[in-house]
Structure 1
Amino acid sequence: MAIPQIKPYSLPTQSELPINKVDWQLDASKAVLLIHDMQEYFLNFYQSDAEMISQMIQNICRLKAVAKQAGIPVIYTAQPEHQSLEERGLLTDFWGAGLNNSTEQKSITNELAPDDADTVLTKWRYSAFKRSPLHHLMDELDKDQIIICGIYAHIGCMTSACDAFMRDIKPFMVADGLADFTREDHLMALNYVAKLCGSVNTTNSLIDAISERSKSGQTEISNVQNSQFNIDENNIGTEWTIEKLVARIASFLQVPEKDIDCDESLIDYGLDSIRVMTLVEEWRSQGLNINFQQLAENPTINGWHQLLLAEKGE
């Protein structure tokens, strides 16, 4: 009855996507972003070092960052850790006790942790709309499009897309921002949505649509982020001293250098997922192989300093 351990597989690529039956165009002013069930409990059924999960999370982080810049509301679903038999209903017959036996894993994964501006809805059934205010919230915000990413593609994500369609809300599935039990299940979900109830797209194509860019692609987004956060990609330079890193991060977060404790979490100074992704893009442009998860694991000056020294071989 429990969820099986999941073997890694490669995420679908653009060439593998089904042909959409509709030619819907994403309108950022009419959309919300749904990050579906990205709780540690569900992620722990994958291998801890699964590349597909790291790639999926990075894609969702990129999508969320661009969505936030465009003013698209970000909505999460998360199943509660304590559910009575009545509340859980028939889910128990298929999946057992679920989070009831793993309450310590209820949190949304750190890489995608919601911020104060995001909405987290309690998830009771496969569909994100069931027993939740999601539809009412979208009506209040005058939104009729929903971008869906997360896990699992052929269960909650696909069901939420179908439910949205039946409410005259256009669902956009993020093909490489989803994960599933198997590649076959994943592709089945994409085919179902493309044929019957929605539009299937890649992360990059949705980012293009949200940011209303042309073929300049991701470079333009990086430039927008760099401008917004006053990024100078040569600021730190090749000498990765604590002093230079403090100065860089203080400028980046717009706080006085003297206020930063090198052992304190930078989240307390205003660091969020958008800024982490911006730093990732900045340092990658300098040739550093840094990813979101590495920065998020220990978001302190001393933690990042050691990471940068190790990357530079110093």
Structure 2
Amino acid sequence: MSSALLVIDMQNGFVHPEGSLPSLGMGMPDIDRVIAENAAVIAAARAVRMPVIYTRSVFRPGMVDLPMRMEGLLPPHFELLERGSWDADIHAALTPEVGEAVIDKNRYDAFLNTPLEQVLRTLGVSSVLVTGTVTSICVESTVRSGYMRDFDMHVASDCVAGALGQHEASLSIMGAAFANVLPWREAMAALTASTETISA
């Protein structure tokens, strides 16, 4: 069994205090701790040669590919996460290394209309450990979609962030039906032990 770490949308626009959504008062609680935990799990994955894959929510100038429901949440003519902008970049504390895949998407589900599944299949991945933002939106959408594609999904409960109430409810829902939800150190230990057992 091969595993990969999937880091969802840890972009300036979502998690940096000067990013577009925090500047609108839509920042997430405890985000500094979540960034630090993501940095730690990424380092741990690299240390055991587990592939690290990133996703970015990015939109064309003019937001012509923005999901319809998101339009109602933003001020008129407000642009965020524009392709190629600082806002759309991965947070500097979590910068991808050369050779690590970065999957751009314009919908919550990171599998929808992207090469994510192809990348995972090419790497021989069957188990996916998910971190990132937002827990109840892009994280949960991607976890459900991965589960329906027969990937063994895991969610690092200490590496995801979202609105209070929604965050906790989403972790509960994912844990009940779609994924193993546990702290990243426990998840990494289990996935690494599983890989070693099969290799032996």
More helix as a share of residues: 1
- How many angstroms apart in 2 are the aligned matches of 1:150 and 1:109? 11
Could you say which residue in structure 2 is the equivalent of 1:157? 139
- How many angstroms apart in 2 are the aligned matches of 1:35 and 1:199? 16
Q: TM-score, normalised by structure 2?
A: 0.81
RMSD: 2.6
Indicate if the aligned counterparts of 2:10 and 2:91 stay in contact, CA closer than 8 A. Answer: yes
Q: 1:92 to 1:67 in 2, by over 3 A?
A: same
State the one-letter code of the partner of 1:172.
H
- How many angstroms apart in 2 are the aligned matches of 1:169 and 1:138? 9
> Is residue 167 of structure 1 aligned with residue 149 of structure 2?
yes
State the one-letter code of the partner of 1:197.
F
Which of residues 33, 38, 46 in structure 2 aligns to 1:68?
Answer: 46
The runs of 5 or more residues in structure 2 that have no matched partner are 194-200
TM-superposition CA deviations, 1:190-245 (whole Å, max 9, x none): 11101121110102212322454xxxxxxxxxxxxxxxxxxxxxxxxxxxxxxxxx
Indicate if the aligned counterparts of 1:41 and 1:102 stay in contact, CA closer than 8 A. Answer: no
Could you say which residue in structure 1 is the equivalent of 2:197? none
TM-superposition CA deviations, 1:260-295 (whole Å, max 9, x none): xxxxxxxxxxxxxxxxxxxxxxxxxxxxxxxxxxxx
The runs of 5 or more residues in structure 1 that have no matched partner are 1-28, 213-314
Which of residues 94, 112, 119 in structure 2 aligns to 1:112?
Answer: 94
5 Å-filtered alignment, 1:4-153, equals: 29-43=1-15, 44=17, 45=22, 52-83=30-61, 86-96=64-74, 97-100=79-82, 103-153=85-135
Q: TM-score, normalised by structure 1?
A: 0.53
- How many angstroms apart in 2 are the aligned matches of 1:51 and 1:156? 17
- How far is the alpha carbon of 1:81 from its aligned partner? 4.8
More strand as a share of residues: 2
The structure showing larger relative contact order (alpha-carbon pairs under 8 Å, at least 6 residues apart) is: 2
| Identity across matched positions, percent | 22
Indicate if the aligned counterparts of 2:38 and 2:159 stay in contact, CA closer than 8 A. Answer: yes
Greater Rg over alpha carbons, structure: 1
TM-superposition CA deviations, 1:47-103 (whole Å, max 9, x none): 9xx982222122111211121122211111112253555422425434444324994
Could you say which residue in structure 1 is the equivalent of 2:198? none
Q: 1:85 to 1:39 in 2, by over 3 A?
A: closer
Q: 1:197 to 1:114 in 2, by over 3 A?
A: same
State the one-letter code of the partner of 1:68.
R
Indicate if the aligned counterparts of 1:56 and 1:178 stay in contact, CA closer than 8 A. Answer: yes
**Partner secondary structure for residue 158 of structure 1:** helix
- How many angstroms apart in 2 are the aligned matches of 1:138 and 1:42? 25
- How many angstroms apart in 2 are the aligned matches of 1:101 and 1:169? 29
